[in-house]
């Protein structure tokens, strides 16, 4: 699965324009008074202004794939720009079963960002690491009220495989290129971070099945363009 675009809401649009465009150095694809879109090499991240009182202080968890030979460089580069999130005295985290290594940090709106190097992907790069080496949005967190029901719906509609998880307390759907991370609402985000909240998300993917679905009880929309 490939994630082409993720559309999120925010109360801090101006701060995020500055953070993603200047601090991370991602090219700005489009912007106006109500939204901003930035590009990685293969994905678009869009924030729209939160114009409703239904959602207070929206925040999300999402991950960016980085070249699998650039983790040390990426860590040094991002550490000059933000404070890395620590847990147990560590600020990088190995996922042996995923053959991956990750680090975490916040943006000005409290979104939990992740750089992850996946060693099963053939995506090494040359040259010095900068924001222009960020490959794609590889994960989007989707808190739900019933993990198994949501998993069943997504797999039935799009034919996506289970990547990892017990379908109860955690479920990753897709593959190394793109994952939906399905967790129970109010579950603590890894590693020991704020409780997951439900806020509007649109995810535009490539799954091999062209369709789009909305969820009656959740502010989520998933569009598969192909």
> What's the confidence (pLDDT) of residue 96?
97
pLDDT (mean) for 2-21: 97
Contact 174, 4 (CB under 8 A): no
Taking residues 164-169, report their average pLDDT. 96
pLDDT of residue 192: 81
Which of 58, 24, 57 lies closest to 38, judged by CA? 24
Sign of CA dihedral 198, 202, 206, 211: positive
Fold of the domain built from segment(s) 2-224: 2,3-Dihydroxybiphenyl 1,2-Dioxygenase; domain 1 (3.10.180)
The span from the CA of 37 to the CA of 93, in Å, is 29
| Tens of pLDDT, residues 41-73 | 999 999 999 988 899 999 999 999 999 999 999
The pLDDT value recorded for residue 13 is 97
Pick from 1-5, 52-56, 195-199: least confident: 52-56
pLDDT for residue 167: 95
Return the pLDDT at 34.
95
Tell me: the pLDDT tens digits for 30-43?
Answer: 989 999 999 999 99
pLDDT of residue 193: 83
Q: Where are the domains of the chain?
A: 2-224
Distance CA 188, CA 184 (A): 9
Cα–Cα distance, 80 to 11 (Å, whole number): 26
Report the pLDDT value the prediction gives residue 115, as an integer from 0 to 100: 98
205 band by pLDDT with thresholds 50, 70 and 90 = very high
**pLDDT score for 71:** 98
- Provide the β-strand partners of residue 49: 10
Length of the chain in terms of residues written: 226
Residues 6+ apart with CB under 8 A from 77: 129, 130
Summary mean pLDDT of the chain: 96
């Amino acid at each position: 699965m490939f994630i082409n675009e993720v559309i999120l809401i925010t109360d801090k649009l101006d701060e995020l324009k500055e953070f993603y465009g200047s601090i991370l150095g991602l090219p700005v694809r489009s912007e106006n008074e109500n939204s901003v879109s930035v590009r990685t090499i293969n994905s678009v991240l869009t924030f729209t202004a939160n114009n409703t009182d239904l959602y207070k202080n929206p925040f999300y968890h999402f991950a960016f794939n980085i070249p699998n030979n650039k983790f040390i460089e990426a860590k040094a580069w991002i550490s000059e720009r933000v404070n890395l999130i620590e847990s147990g005295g560590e600020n990088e985290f190995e996922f042996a079963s995923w053959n991956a290594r990750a680090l975490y940090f916040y943006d000005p709106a409290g979104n939990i960002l992740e750089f992850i190097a996946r060693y099963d992907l053939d995506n090494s790069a040359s040259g010095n690491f900068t924001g222009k080496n960020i490959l794609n949005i590889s994960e989007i967190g989707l808190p739900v009220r019933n993990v198994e029901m949501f998993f069943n719906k997504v797999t039935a509609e799009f034919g996506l495989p289970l990547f990892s998880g017990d379908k109860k307390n955690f479920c990753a759907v897709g593959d190394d290129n793109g994952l939906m991370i399905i967790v129970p609402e109010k579950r603590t985000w890894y590693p020991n971070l704020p409780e997951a909240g439900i806020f509007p998300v649109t995810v535009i993917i490539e799954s091999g099945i062209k369709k789009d679905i909305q969820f009656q009880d959740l502010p989520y929309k998933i569009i598969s363009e192909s």
